[in-house]
Amino acid sequence: MLKKALVISISVMLSASFGTSALAATSSADVDKVMASIEKTNTDIEAKIAKAVIEADALEAAYLADIQKLEEGDTVVKLKEQAGKLESDLSKTNDSVKIEKIQKELAALNGKLEAETAKISAKMASLKEELDALSLLAPEEGKEKKKLDEKMAKLKERLDKKAEKYNDRTEKFTRDLDKLITDLYDTTLKMSNDMIQKAAEKGIQAEASWTLVELGGRLVWIDPIKVCH
């Protein structure tokens, strides 16, 4: 998975397009105040991005953990229960014959458990690759939504015969992640637009400076502010 890059480069040069009247109407104190407000807004946006990245990572981790539990199923659960019982019996006896017998049984069980775990790990690695592949889709104003939906549909198809349980969990993960992304996008866009409007009222031209952020395997455009030059 791509590492989270939260480096936001912000240009703070005043616009060369300032007219004489704009400069006359805008005092140095006003300019300084607007620039400070822009810097604070960008800092707040960056904090919201950082928080959203952590939350998205937690959503993805919980999703993968739940899928792994479903993958383990009855076989692994029974093997773990049997191993637990044997370990308990082993701790309660000093009989060398019994100890040897239990240790052999434990070794055999652990071998089976390792084999089952290896199968599950391979499936989980494949699932993780599918999730990571979604990050290659970088939506631009919603134009890639259809492609993303198709990818998610293919992902759900790969979750073998336990599809109904898997689909419910996959759909919940998708809904939760969609909400997190939408909330972040809408909130930061409003913060950016409000600040741009306030700057314009003081004769300072600013604009959104789009930054690509990874959230739960998705690439999302978020918009800090820069002053035009």
Predicted confidence at residue 49, as pLDDT, reads 92
Q: Which two tokens stand for residue 91?
A: 């701790």
Burial 26-61 (b: 16+ CB within 10 A, else e): beeeebeebbebbeebbeebbebbeebbebbbebbe
Whole-angstrom Cα distance, residue 99 to residue 77?
24
Residue 11 maps to a domain: no
Residues of the domain holding 54: 20-227
> Quick one: tokens of 194?
């409000």
Q: What is the pLDDT of residue 18?
A: 43
What is the model's pLDDT at position 219? 83
Residue 36 in any domain: the answer is yes
Model pLDDT, residue 148? 67
pLDDT attached to residue 23: 45
Return the number of other C-beta atoms located less than 10 Å from residue 114's C-beta: 11
Instruction: Please tell me the predicted confidence (pLDDT) of residue 21.
Output: 45
The domain total for the chain is 1
Task: Examine residue 1 and state whether it is found in any structural domain, yes or no.
Answer: no
| CB-based contact 38:206 (threshold 8 Å) | yes
Residue 9 lies in a domain: no
Could you tell me if residue 2 is inside a domain? no
Instruction: Write down the pTM of the prediction.
Output: 0.59
Q: In order along the chain (229 residues), what is the average pLDDT of each group of 10 residues? A: 35 36 60 89 92 94 83 74 86 87 87 82 74 57 62 64 69 91 92 90 85 85 69
What DSSP letter does each residue of 112-137 carry, written as one string? HHHHHHHHHHHHHHHHHHHHHHGGG-
The count of other CB atoms within 10 Å of the CB of residue 24 is 10
In a domain, 119, yes or no: yes
Asked whether residue 128 is domain-assigned, the answer is yes
Buried b (16+ CB within 10 A) or exposed e, 143-174: eeeeebeebbeebbeebeeeeeebeebbeebb
On whether residue 4 sits in a domain, the answer given is: no
How far is 145 from 141, CA to CA, in rounded Å?
A: 9
